[in-house]
Amino acid sequence: MVRYLTITDGNISRIDGEFAKHSRVSCLNLSSNHINTIEDRALGTLYNLSILDLSYNNLTEVPSVRKESVTLDISNNSNLICSKLKDTLVSRPEIIFNNENNTFCITSRDFVWFQTAETLPFSQVKAVHELQKNCYHNCTCETYRLNLSQGKLPTFEVAMNCSGKEFLSLPIPLPDNTIMLDVSNNNITSIKELSDPSYQNLRHFIADNNKISSIQPLEGTKFISNFETLSLQRNHIKILETYVLDNIQFERNYNQRKVKLGFNKLQCDCNTMKLKVWLLSKINHIPDHDDIKCYDLNVKVIELDAGKMCQDPQQWTDYIYYIIGVEVVLLVVLISKVTYDYWIFKSSGYLPWPANKMPRLPCDWLCE
């Protein structure tokens, strides 16, 4: 009985019918032909089939095989459709794909949300299939967009939603190629995890309505250099350090960047004027600038009056001079009064009425 069957380098375009019943073929090599169609029942009688090589053909989908565990090589089929390949991953997860690095497929309108034809590597189709399985516990992951960077293979970028999960800290690690993370409505107190390597591709970070107290952990991260959206509304931020915000570039390729910092309980003083200058210079990138207010004053930061927030040191010096002058005058008056009372006492033998009515002190004997 035939166990190994090889038919290669031919002009076969279609496989109809079926192999003989009770066939013992376990290894079938049909590579390097022009096969574009294999009927569903064609391989149905190959119960012992364990290796199937269909590389270098014109197939659009993975053929149906009967045996549960099959090693399949479907590389270099230029017309393979991604949605069909993904369907196979879902319905036949036990199939082992050989030569994955040379397996590509063409996107179609029914593959995720994509609207044009692009060639994708098998690894990306597999990543889409396993996306939710690799997602952080209790979060939801979905494809965000396809990155078509010149000179690189197309890669799907991921959006992860972890809002309202009662998290106390940012999730680690993020799935590969995560570009968007929403952790709104949690109890997160710090954003220090933004420096984790799994956050290196993050572009959109939304962490509204948490308990974040500082933006200092942003300093030195890749995120602050690469982001498109940063939203930290309704947190516990009291001070917005301008030395951190000054590291954000908005010019040239970064004109789409948006920063939202409204509804935080800011404590304002003279240093807040630096924040006002920064906000006014970047106001087109701060859509909620009217909601960035001084909590203790209930005044918009962009409307702060420097004259009221910052006292000139010269003004304080003037006040000190006034106080010293008043004290000198009072001292002169006091000395004059004591001298006058002493002169009256020596010349007439009695004290003036105000001094005479004052209670005697232990030290009065010095004047007698």
DSSP state of 63: P
The pLDDT confidence band at residue 319, using thresholds 50, 70 and 90, is low
Residues 10 and 30: their CA atoms lie apart, in Å, by: 9
Query: CB of 196 within 8 A of CB of 172?
Result: yes
Joined together, the tokens standing for residue 229 give: 């959206």
| % of the chain with per-residue pLDDT over 70 | 88
Strand runs labelled E in the chain: 4-6, 14-15, 27-29, 37-38, 51-53, 71-73, 96-97, 104-106, 119-121, 140-147, 155-161, 178-182, 204-206, 229-231, 258-260, 293-294, 299-300
The pLDDT confidence band at residue 266, using thresholds 50, 70 and 90, is very high
Quickly tell me which residue has 């918009």 as its tokens. Answer: 300
The pLDDT confidence band at residue 202, using thresholds 50, 70 and 90, is very high
Spatial CA neighbour of 265 closest among 283, 292, 287 = 292
Question: Residue 179: its pLDDT value, please?
Answer: 96
Spatial CA neighbour of 195 closest among 157, 232, 223, 160 = 223
Whether the pLDDT of residue 30 is over 60: the answer is yes
Residues in Cβ contact with 39 at an 8 Å cutoff, skipping those fewer than 6 apart: 15, 16, 17, 18
Question: Residue 368: its pLDDT value, please?
Answer: 55
Is the C-alpha dihedral spanning 122, 126, 129, 132 positive or negative?
negative
38-68 pLDDT, tens digit each: 998 899 888 899 999 999 999 999 999 887 7
| Structural Rg of the chain based on CA atoms | 40
Coil, strand or helix at 71: strand
Residue 311, burial from CB neighbour count under 10 angstroms (0-12, 13-18, 19+): exposed
Whether the pLDDT of residue 20 is over 60: the answer is yes
Q: Which of 111-125, 195-209, 285-299 has the lowest mean pLDDT?
A: 111-125
C-alpha separations of 106 from 55, 82, 125, 157, 304 in Å: 16, 5, 10, 18, 57
Start-to-end CA distance of the chain, whole Å, equals 143
Strands 37-38, 14-15: pairing is: parallel
Strands 155-161, 258-260: pairing is: unpaired
pLDDT, mean over the chain: 87
Whether the pLDDT of residue 349 is over 60: the answer is yes
Question: Residue 96: its pLDDT value, please?
Answer: 94
Residues β-bridged to residue 229: 204, 258
| % of the chain with per-residue pLDDT over 90 | 61
Question: Residue 330: its pLDDT value, please?
Answer: 86
When pLDDT is averaged across residues 160-179 and rounded to a whole number, the result is 96
The pLDDT confidence band at residue 365, using thresholds 50, 70 and 90, is low
Q: Which of 129-133, 161-165, 238-242, 253-257 has the lowest mean pLDDT?
A: 253-257
When pLDDT is averaged across residues 22-32 and rounded to a whole number, the result is 91
Question: Residue 119: its pLDDT value, please?
Answer: 86
Question: Residue 115: its pLDDT value, please?
Answer: 57
Listed ranges 63-77, 79-93, 165-179; the one with the highest mean pLDDT: 165-179
Whether the pLDDT of residue 234 is over 60: the answer is yes
Joined together, the tokens standing for residue 167 give: 């998290």
Helices assigned H by DSSP within the chain: 82-91, 122-129, 223-226, 242-245, 272-281, 306-309, 313-348, 353-357
Task: Report how far Cα 3 is from the mean position of its chain's Cα atoms.
Answer: 56
Question: Residue 159: its pLDDT value, please?
Answer: 97
Contacts 24+ apart (CB under 8 A), 30-38: 30/54, 30/57, 31/55, 31/56, 31/57, 31/73, 32/8, 32/56, 32/57, 33/7, 33/8, 33/9, 33/57, 34/10, 34/58, 35/59, 36/60, 36/79, 37/13, 38/14, 38/63
The pLDDT confidence band at residue 22, using thresholds 50, 70 and 90, is confident
Higher-confidence position of 213 and 17: 213
94-120 pLDDT, tens digit each: 999 999 999 999 986 555 555 567 888
Question: Residue 27: its pLDDT value, please?
Answer: 95
Whether the pLDDT of residue 89 is over 60: the answer is yes
